[in-house]
Amino acid sequence: MSPTPTHPLARLTADEIEAAVKILKVANLVTEATRFAYLGLAEPTKAEVLAHTPGAPFNRIVKALLLDLTTGDTKSVIVSLTNGLVERVDPIDTRTQGQAPILDDDLFAVGDIVKADAGWVEAMARRGLTDLDKIIPCPLSAGEYGFEGEEGKRLLRVLSFVQHRPSDHPWAHPVDGVVAYVDLIARKVIRLVDHAVLPVPQEEHNHDDPAYTGPPRTTLKPLEITQPEGPSFTVDGDEITWDAWRLRIGFDAREGLVLYQISNAGRPIVYRASVAEMVVPYGDPSPTRFWQNYFDIGEYLIGLQVNSLELGCDCLGEIHYFDAVLPTTTGEPRVVKNAICLHEEDYGVLWKHTDIFTNSSEVRRQRRLVVSYFATIGNYDYGFYWYFYLDGTIQLEVKATGFIFTEPYRPGNPYANQITAEIAGPYHQHLYNVRLDMMVDGLTNAVEELDAVRVRTGPGNEFGNAFTRSTVRLRTESEAMRDAHAAAGRVWKVLNPNRLNAVGQPVGYVLIPQAGPLLLADEGSSIRRRGAFATHHLWVTRYHPDERFPGGELINGNPGTGGLPAYAAQDRSIDGEDIVVWHTFGATHFPRPEDWPVMPVARCGFTLKPTGFFGRNPTLDIPPSAGHCSPG
Ligand SMILES: [Cu+2]
């Protein structure tokens, strides 16, 4: 028996997953062919959660997406665990609303489907590949191009790799010039694109083979983190307390780690934070690859792909692990041990001053609380790291590592960089969208855009040294589709107009973006419609409990309906309202030889920094480190 949830945002337990599936079975909504393409907690509204008092009853509602593998029939259902009833069944029109996400079942199915296709087998033979056991078909989300015969179909597009033996990493042996378009419901190849026979790279690049890496270097002595009195955080169920910080964790099959009710010294800052979507568009227009755009959250359900972490390897020091309980596609609960890592890290100097007039010399050390998880999606591994600092700063860092997607090196190809004698890494982007349901000192918030501005030489600025900061209030959703501007040091301040600090300014937190390229695909491209959220760094919308996904409810096969453009098209006021800030950030990746064969972690993210939230440096009472750096 799982413990009974005591908070409306508590994660679904194994018992609750089983109970939801049972209710659906009793309602005759589940057959042998049914797969649970999604199952998760339908969160209560913000008002319900904020009104909740400990011990008071609350409803438990589950949302699921049911897919019939034989017909493609897709339904969205709402189940009340509290009443033991199915409350809603909404059929999905897959032509306009998109398809259920890609399932593990689909990944296994495509291998059988392409290997049973005579045309595909012949295409492989033309490339000298006749041992089908050594060919690894790689099932990839199909995108939506309006091609004849594809409307409303549940599709994957399949590239292939060769694996010399079970311990050989196939990413070093991409097969180019051939791609199979697979209909997963009809279980057949509906189109085979075979446009160029290119040699398959043969050289092996196995980062886990000592014969390839060479013997381990001997220059490094052990480095251990010890906290003899234990960590400074406490954990009560899903709630974490550390120094002035308090927050609650959630974990969703789709979004992965979700943070709720982040507060500092009892003052709310963010009601809910999650990386709500990401897209990885590729820039190679070749007939084999023009469609490569992966939405790893909406299409592949990144939460389901979470890793089980190992002490001393993934996180160092005094670690608290949370297990994740996730549904399988057949509706059983699956426990992932050590899925979420919680620990503290030293982070260098917090503040320091040596005063020449008083002879005082003071230094304090910074530390941060880290809440993180890793997920593996095919060739890539993504780490999502939330940091909380002693000075009130919140930060998200996404770490991308693993194998880059490869293609055979073609001289003169302007869309990829050569990384070995035989292999090239195609140019691509990793663009994430974080949804920040803000609550800076309360529900009434607003956003200002702040730029550094040069002032022209003239009266009052005779010597031309003046510069200032411009402030533009973003009043409506249409005014709040904004882009970063690195040269102006542009930041966005989320403030509470009703709460003033000691000097009379509205309290706030500033969102500091890492300015970088937005979605580079051209106007009119399919991916620009489907990944429109990635065409601006900032969106701000009025809070609505149903507006959760930057790319829309169902991304797979969706032609580009719903999501942020539709939310913002309502053009509601966002000035002095309950608002949600959506921030696109990421990396544009021009692969290097050093990214091969396994890529050192590449980082990107953003920072939320208190700006007028506190009346002065909130860390003056941090004691000096014990021992030789005590004051004296
Ligand atoms: Cu990359």
Element (H, E) at 16: helix 14-26
| Residue partners of 593: CB distance under 8 A and separation at least 6 | 419, 420
Dihedral sign for Cα 538, 539, 545, 547, please.
negative
The whole-angstrom separation of Cα 441 and Cα 506 is 10
CA of residue 281 to ligand 1 center, whole Å: 10
pLDDT at 310 over 90: no
Summarize the confidence of residues 326-344 as an average pLDDT: 97
Catalytic residue from among 296, 441, 575, 595: 296
DSSP 311: B
Summarize the confidence of residues 450-455 as an average pLDDT: 98
The whole-angstrom separation of Cα 416 and Cα 223 is 38
**Residue 500: phi, psi to the nearest 5?**
-105, 150
Is 380 an active-site residue?
yes
Question: What percentage of the chain exceeds 70 in pLDDT?
Answer: 99
Position 111 scores a pLDDT of 95
Between 631 and 148, name the one with better pLDDT. Answer: 148
Report the chain's mean pLDDT, rounded to a whole number. Answer: 96
Catalytic residue from among 380, 382, 427, 543: 380
What are the CA-CA distances from residue 555 to residues 277, 308, 465, 532, 533 (Å)?
Answer: 10, 27, 51, 12, 12
Distance between first and last Cα of the chain? 57
Q: How confident is the model at residue 432 (pLDDT cuts 50, 70, 90)?
A: very high
Tokens found for residue 166: 């079970």
CA proximity to 499, closest of 622, 619, 405, 615: 615
Q: Are 297 and 276 in contact (CB under 8 A)?
A: yes
Position 107 scores a pLDDT of 84
Phi/psi region, residue 133 (left: phi>0; alpha: psi -120 to 50; beta: rest), is alpha
Tokens found for residue 355: 């005063």
Question: What percentage of the chain exceeds 90 in pLDDT?
Answer: 95
CA of residue 407 to ligand 1 center, whole Å: 14
Q: What is the dihedral of CA 234, 343, 337, 254, to 10 degrees?
A: 100
pLDDT at 451 over 80: yes
Q: Which residue shows structure tokens 């989300």?
A: 141
pLDDT at 173 over 90: yes
CA proximity to 4, closest of 14, 340, 397: 14
CA proximity to 39, closest of 110, 103, 85, 92: 103
Q: Which residue shows structure tokens 């160029």?
A: 196
CA of residue 213 to ligand 1 center, whole Å: 22
CA of residue 428 to ligand 1 center, whole Å: 6
Q: How confident is the model at residue 315 (pLDDT cuts 50, 70, 90)?
A: confident
Is 300 an active-site residue?
no
CA of residue 71 to ligand 1 center, whole Å: 36
Q: How confident is the model at residue 627 (pLDDT cuts 50, 70, 90)?
A: low
Summarize the confidence of residues 275-284 as an average pLDDT: 98
Element (H, E) at 604: strand 599-610
CA of residue 283 to ligand 1 center, whole Å: 12
Position 629 scores a pLDDT of 61
Burial 143-173 (b: 16+ CB within 10 A, else e): bbeeeeebeebbbbbbbbbbbeeeebbbbbb
Give tens-digit pLDDT for 532-590.
999 999 999 999 999 999 999 999 999 998 999 999 999 999 999 999 999 999 999 99
Position 632 scores a pLDDT of 45
What are the CA-CA distances from residue 508 to residues 208, 330, 442, 573 (Å)?
Answer: 48, 46, 11, 19
CA of residue 589 to ligand 1 center, whole Å: 5
CA of residue 124 to ligand 1 center, whole Å: 28
pLDDT at 199 over 50: yes
CA of residue 587 to ligand 1 center, whole Å: 8
Position 630 scores a pLDDT of 56
Summarize the confidence of residues 283-294 as an average pLDDT: 95
Q: Quickly list H helices, 435-563.
A: 526-530
Position 222 scores a pLDDT of 92
Summarize the confidence of residues 419-426 as an average pLDDT: 97
Q: Are 275 and 266 in contact (CB under 8 A)?
A: no
